[in-house]
Amino acid sequence: MADDFVIEAFTLLALAILTIACRITARWITAGPKNFALDDYLMPVAGIVYALETAAAYCVSAWWHGLANNSMTATERASLSPQSEEYRLRVGGSKTQVLGWSLYTTLLWLLKTCMAVFYSRLTAGLYQMTQRIRIAYLLIACTYIAVILSILLGCRPLHRNWQIHPDPGNYCQPAVSHIDVYVTVTLNVATDVYLISIPFPILFKARLPWREKLELVVLFSGGLFVMAAGILRCVLIVTAGANGASQAGSWACRETFVAVIIGNLPMIYPVCRRLGKRAAGFWSSQGQSPSHPKAGAGGARSSTSGYPLSGSEPHSTPSRKKRFRHPLSLPDTQWTQLGPVGDEQIMLVAMDGEEGNSRREGGGGQGGIHVVKELVITRD
């Protein structure tokens, strides 16, 4: 079983690191390294913390054989010699459990911070959302401090967390400590629920096709899977008994893996969607025969480029291409995307604060939703 867990844990680690690399690549393509935000720098740090958490879980299973200072009778504690191998394994396992809890919570709250920064960028210009983003930052900071303090100060003095005899009590058994489990899962779920609630008002009011709305709802609802994994981990640790130490390590890796994937999908999704659309357009164009003559000498351009043919119908309306629209380019966001479409580059430009206010006061749009302005730059 230990070998199976090792394979699983390091496979999840490799997939998580690959996902973070894809996210950085996607942000490099869509924004450029000069426009990287705080979350783009915090996510690689989260990857390092995840690697350390996986290493701690590996140590619990491979080095300490899943043993800690829990699941022992009073007789077993009294008879266990401090010079014995089991005593060494239990002490080492308990110390690693404290470290593992600290890394686990640090990773989760780093990912929450990255999501809050992403939401602040997504909702920039929506003044009714500014306060909610500030509350998110405050909530993340306060809950992280509370969780870390419960782990490090829930059992005082600290060395009682690896005490064998006499029985230090449940709060000083880090593998199955109820204070660690309940405080962490409660605050983890509470912050996830709040973060999930931030983008939904925008999605419901945005002027998007219902299919795109459904895609984004599924995308931003990924935190529900993280909450479910956290609750399941809590239940398994409390009910695992002698296997509590190994269950804590294995389910920590699984939950945080899901959190890493969910935290990076919003950045990877737009690029994947763009590539999918371009691939579909390319294959569909292969099956179509050209319907317009080629441009001749003298600079005449084909109508397929969006300009009328030279010498014919000079006042006709130029044909419009299907322009690429970033799937997260919701109204009033400051997402700036450059996407070449044939001979054109489309730049989505957010409305500034004063113009946005004037449109609100003038009743433009439904529910304060504004129309994003498009600046089309053509190349001669």
pLDDT in tens, 188-208: 999 999 999 888 877 777 777
Cα dist from 180 to 82, 101, 105, 177, 353, whole Å: 27, 8, 10, 5, 45
Nearest to 331 by CA among 208, 219, 221: 208
pLDDT at 82 (0 to 100): 94
pLDDT at 333 (0 to 100): 35
Q: Per residue in 228-256, pLDDT tens? A: 888 888 888 887 666 766 676 677 888 89
Helix intervals (H) in 287-361? 353-361
Residues 68 and 94: their CA atoms lie apart, in Å, by: 5
Q: What's the pLDDT band for 50 if we cut at 50, 70, 90?
A: very high
**pLDDT at residue 282 above 80?**
no
pLDDT at 287 (0 to 100): 61
Which structure tokens are listed for 264?
């990076």
Indicate the pTM of the whole model: 0.74
Q: Are 192 and 226 in contact (CB under 8 A)?
A: yes
Which fold would CATH assign to domain 2-277? Rhopdopsin 7-helix transmembrane proteins (1.20.1070)
Q: What's the pLDDT band for 318 if we cut at 50, 70, 90?
A: very low
Nearest to 213 by CA among 201, 204, 225: 204
Helix intervals (H) in 198-313? 200-205, 210-220, 223-239, 244-286
Q: Per residue in 80-110, pLDDT tens? A: 999 999 999 999 999 999 999 999 999 999 9
Q: Give the best-scoring range by mean pLDDT among 150-154, 272-276, 277-281.
A: 150-154
Cα dist from 253 to 8, 53, 104, 112, 346, whole Å: 9, 7, 8, 16, 41
**pLDDT at residue 338 above 50?**
no
Q: Are 94 and 101 in contact (CB under 8 A)?
A: no
Domain residue limits, the chain: 2-277, 324-378
Residues 324 and 206: their CA atoms lie apart, in Å, by: 17
What φ, ψ does residue 339 adopt, rounded to 5°? -135, 105
Q: Per residue in 135-153, pLDDT tens? A: 999 999 999 999 999 999 9
